[in-house]
Structure 1
Amino acid sequence: MPRYIRSKRFGGTFFFTVTLRDRRSSVLVDHIDLLRDCVRHVKSKRPFDIIAWVVLPDHIHAIWRLPEGDNAFSIRWQLIKMLFTKKLKERMHDKESVWQGRFWEHEIKSDDDLRNHIHYCYLNPVKHGYVLSTRDWPYSSFHRDVKLGLFDIHWNGLLEVP
């Protein structure tokens, strides 16, 4: 059986998929306020840039850029998951973590790779049938990127012909 080896690159850009143990759960969007607070808290203690982010009911896709000299994305995810679990337990009186034990990570290697993964994040709610258009999914950094002028609100992932 192959052994998965995480990237050790310092200051890199990475795509992540983080999932719940129960893939039928909607706890992430049901408690989006808690998730956002947990991410903000961890980000304040261990900074990173969020390039793209989409939260679906049962999983998250995210692209982070770590500071130069830092490769501790696993610690950041561990802290986010632990803090979210703790806050959720306080709110719901649940006894167990809702997360799968691990997460999937991919080191971004080029501008095309980055663009493809950003598009993957933003199209994921459409792919899963939650909405018909990226603009209709509220739990995504797509809306931030529209405000920044990086995407048009009507973007649908198709290549535009000049």
Structure 2
Amino acid sequence: MRYRRADVKGGTYFFTVNLLERNRTLLVDHVDVLRKVMREVKGRHPFQIDAMVILPDHLHAMWTMPEGDADFPKRWMLIKAGFSRRISEGEPRSASRRAKGERGIWQRRYWEHLIRDERDFAEHADYIHYNPVKHGHACTIANWPYSTFHEYVRRGIYPAGWGKAVTQHPTGNAFGE
């Protein structure tokens, strides 16, 4: 059976992208490199970042694609390759990866979900922003610097103290761990 990705041009998608070795901290160790690569890819292949969090070993993002475009696989390939080229080698690589000229940084696949409606959007934004607390990287969401949570607070979408223990999203969606 062949896996088929969603293909809605101009759609909004939620992604989970993982490092191959989940015990590494490359994404926060090299967060400036990741941000630079994402800006470069966005410059050549536009998309809107609706929400995002970068954790040590994985990231979650929600993107809206341009009208008439659903080619997020190309964008992720460029981001992963660009990041990999800019950090020093040293990770173990399988024979398969060596044969294909691949680094051993990223998992080959990633998770994507097509956002269906405003409620689905709000629930995924909540999930993204609460993730550093869920994984024990921060006591409060406000303490995690690698997140669009801070922009959501500036824009008045979340109150500054949102996400402590079990809370209620401003749109009424229950959230918490």
Deviation at 1:145, TM superposition (A): 1.4
CA shift at 1:142, angstroms? 0.6
Give secondary structure in 2 for the equivalent of 1:52: strand
2:116 counterpart of 1:117: no
Aligned to 2:168: 159
> Residues 101 and 160 (structure 1 numbering): CA distance in 2 closer, same or farther, change over 3 Å?
closer
1:102 equivalent in alignment to 2:109: yes
- Find the aligned partners of 1:3 and 1:97 in 2 and give their Cα distance: 24
Task: Structure 2: state its 5+ residue gaps.
Answer: 92-102, 173-177
Structure 1 distance, partners of 2:63, 2:104, is 24
Give the counterpart letter for 1:34 in structure 2: V
* Counterpart code for 1:129: G
Distance across 2 between alignment mates of 1:82 and 1:42: 11
Cα distance in 1 for partners of 2:160, 2:48 equals: 22
Shift of 1:4: 2.4
Identity %: 44
Q: Deviations over 1:83-113 (max 9, x none)?
A: 000011xxx2447241011111000001110
Distance (whole Å) between structure 1 residues aligned to residue 157 and residue 118 of structure 2: 15
Residue in structure 2 matched with residue 50 of structure 1 by the alignment = 49
Aligned AA for 2:63? W
Could you tell me which residue of structure 2 aligns to residue 139 of structure 1?
A: 146
Q: Could you list the per-position Cα deviations for residues 17-64 of structure 1 after superposition, in whole angstroms to 9, with x for gaps in the alignment? A: 000000000000000000000000000000101000000000010000
Distance 1:107 1:121 in 2: 15
Q: Counterparts of 1:58-73 in structure 2 under 5 Å?
A: 58-73=57-72
- Matched to 1:85, the amino acid is S
For 1:9 and 1:21, how far apart are their aligned partners in 2?
A: 28
Superposed displacement of residue 8, structure 1: 1.0
- Hey, what's the Cα distance between the residues in 2 that align with 1:123 and 1:144? 14
Q: Check 1:109–1:134 CA distance in 2 against 1; reply closer, same or farther (3 A cut).
A: same
Per-residue deviation, 1:160? 6.8
- Aligned mates of 1:97, 1:127 — CA distance in 2: 26
Aligned residues: 158
- Aligned to 2:62, the other structure's residue is in SS state strand
Q: Which amino acid aligns with 1:37?
A: K
CA RMSD for the aligned pairs?
1.7
TM-score by length of 1: 0.92
1:48 and 1:93 mapped to 2: Cα distance? Answer: 29
Alpha-carbon contact 2:126-2:169 (below 8 Å) kept: no
